[in-house]
Amino acid sequence: MIAAESGGLFDTINGLPVHPLVVHAAVVLIPLAAIGVLVMVFWPRFSRSFGIAVVVTAALATGAAFVAKEAGEALASRVGEPGFDHQELGDVMPIVAGVLLLAAIGLWLIDRRTESGASGSTRWVRIAVAALAAVIAVGNLVWIYRVGDSGARSVWAGQVAGSAQTTGVTDD
């Protein structure tokens, strides 16, 4: 089923839909930022030295997630709903990535502030922020997997299953 053409900023580049072009940036940058935050959680020296790189990566990841979401909506208006729960999961991804960005910023700022030595109360704040950041980072890894899996299933499930049946290839 083909829907009406949508046009607009997030629709196409050189006649190709923006969504599959930009989604790969989100698929790489979100896990990279999440892993960076996890390293920051367990290695404060890394956070002080390279935390800004993790923050920038998380910011780029959040931007990529937003553009992928908007481009996905433009693509859906052209070709119809993607199926599965891909669009619903994708709608939430920029928010989830934005929370990761906030966690990265918070952890980096705390680690920069405690560079010269942490007092007792600062240490507990760092532990609390680090624990929350770890949960957020793991949540981002799970969420980006769910979004990507549902997107891949909506595009490839019927085609791959159909080609295996016509060629006689099985999953045995």
Over 90: is that where the pLDDT of 79 sits?
Answer: no
- Looking at residue 13, its amino acid is I
- Under the banding of pLDDT at 50, 70 and 90, the label for residue 91 is very high
- Under the banding of pLDDT at 50, 70 and 90, the label for residue 1 is very low
Other Cβ atoms less than 10 A from the Cβ of 95: the count is 14
Contacts of 46 (CB under 8 A, 6+ apart): 39, 40
For residue 81, the number of C-alpha atoms closer than 13 Å in the C-beta half-sphere is 7
Reported as type and span, the H/E element at residue 70 is helix 44-79
Task: Please name the residue that has the structure tokens 């997997």.
Answer: 145
Give domain limits for the chain: 12-167
Distances (CA, A) of 169 to 86, 157, 160, 161, 163: 28, 15, 10, 9, 8
Least confident of 32-41, 81-90, 138-147: 81-90
Q: Hey, what are 122's tokens? A: 């600062």
What pLDDT, in 10s, does the model give residues 3-54?
445 567 777 777 777 788 889 999 999 999 999 999 999 999 999 999 999 9
What pLDDT, in 10s, does the model give residues 96-138?
999 999 999 999 999 988 765 556 678 889 999 999 999 999 9
Question: Model-level pTM?
Answer: 0.81
